[in-house]
Amino acid sequence: MKARLLLWGLTVAALVALPWVVTALGQPYYIDLVRRIMILAIAATSLNLILGYGGLVSFGHAAYIGIGAYSVGILAFYGVTNGWLQWGVAIGASALVALAIGAVSIRTSGIYFIMITLAFTQMLYYLGISLDAFGGDDGMRLKAKSQLGVVELSDPLQFYYLALGLMLLVVYLVYRIVHSRFGMVLRASKSNEARSRAIGFSPYPYRLAAFVIAGAICGLAGALYGNHTNYITPSFMSWHQSGDLMFMVILGGMASTAGPVLGAFTLLILEELLKGAPWSWVSEHWQVVLGPLLVLSVIFFRRGLAGIFYKPDA
């Protein structure tokens, strides 16, 4: 436990110091890059709640990023820029959609659950494409960033520290959830569903509650992501984005506190390095290089990268 706290302390200290270091080096681009990674780490952490601890392989989790981002974008389109209202709508809308999707999909399991969550996400993706008033397939530009009062999102430094604070808050929240009585039932349902039923706990309501919580947190990530990119497109909800989130969790380590964060940083930094490689054949065909590296990491790190430092929670 002390080793974990020390690692977290060093990581947080490094992230706090990073903006000042890269600014001194004349590389402010890395502030935006790390902010993007932290926002996606929030989404990956929410997925870990249902994938790592609940055993629910959702291939449609990116839908809530899109819902959160479009909630901010559509309200701003109509002149509503109050951030507290925008983000409340983003979280609430994502939770409601997660409730509707989860109520149906959680009644299934295995490949059927994967395909149903994928189908719902694709429905939302094509809905986004059909919204011509908001750009359709081309997407829409965010007219104004969310106005929070206490934090100015147009200031890269303030936005960075807000993303860092929210990422740490979400990681702690998920940690507290999975170590509560609710989390114990959720993990028990993943481990042995029949035995959970035998001792009087029906997995369905617990899984549905976890599904809604995960959707709401991912909606918050979507609201942040929309403000980060300043441009919102249906691609936020594509199955490719869902696959990226899933791989962040698997690469970092499922059912581990730090796994999704570690996976997000590793995947996106590695992607950035390959895209900017000095060799043209690598930068042009970076997916060909990245794919085998990720496959090898999964083969040799069965518990994910977090398993190098400590045993996952479940």
Encode 11-77 in three state secondary structure: HHHHHHHHHHHHHHCCCCHHHHHHHHHHHHHHHHHHHHHHHCCCCCCCCCCCHHHHHHHHHHHHHHH
Structure tokens at 294: 């990720």
Question: Do residues 95 and 219 lie in contact, with contact meaning Cβ atoms separated by under 8 Å?
Answer: yes
Grouping H, G, I as helix, E, B as strand and the rest as coil, residue 84 is helix
| Residue pair 260/314 in contact by the 8 Å Cβ criterion | no
pLDDT of residue 312: 57
Closest-CA residue to 313 (of 169, 170, 187, 168): 187
C-alpha–C-alpha distance, residues 286 and 270, integer Å:
10
- The reported pLDDT for the residue numbered 314 is 46
Q: Alpha helix (H) ranges present in the chain?
A: 2-24, 29-51, 63-77, 83-105, 111-130, 156-178, 181-191, 193-198, 203-229, 239-252, 259-275, 280-284, 286-300
Ordered per-residue pLDDT tens for the chain, 314 residues: 677 788 889 999 999 999 999 999 999 999 999 999 999 999 999 999 999 999 999 999 999 999 999 999 999 999 999 999 999 999 999 999 999 999 999 999 889 999 999 999 999 999 999 988 898 889 999 999 999 989 999 999 999 999 999 999 999 999 999 999 999 999 999 988 888 888 888 999 999 999 999 999 999 999 999 999 999 999 999 988 999 999 999 999 898 988 999 999 999 998 888 887 777 777 777 788 778 877 887 788 777 888 777 665 54
Could you give the count of Cα atoms lying within 13 Å of 17 in the half-sphere of its Cβ? 7
What is the pLDDT, as a whole number, of residue 310?
64
Other CB atoms within 10 Å distance of the CB of residue 110: 8
Q: Under DSSP, is residue 78 helix (H, G, I), strand (E, B) or coil?
A: coil
pLDDT reported for residue 2? 72
- 233: tokens are 């497109």
Distance CA 253, CA 28 (A): 30
What per-residue confidence (pLDDT) applies to 50?
96
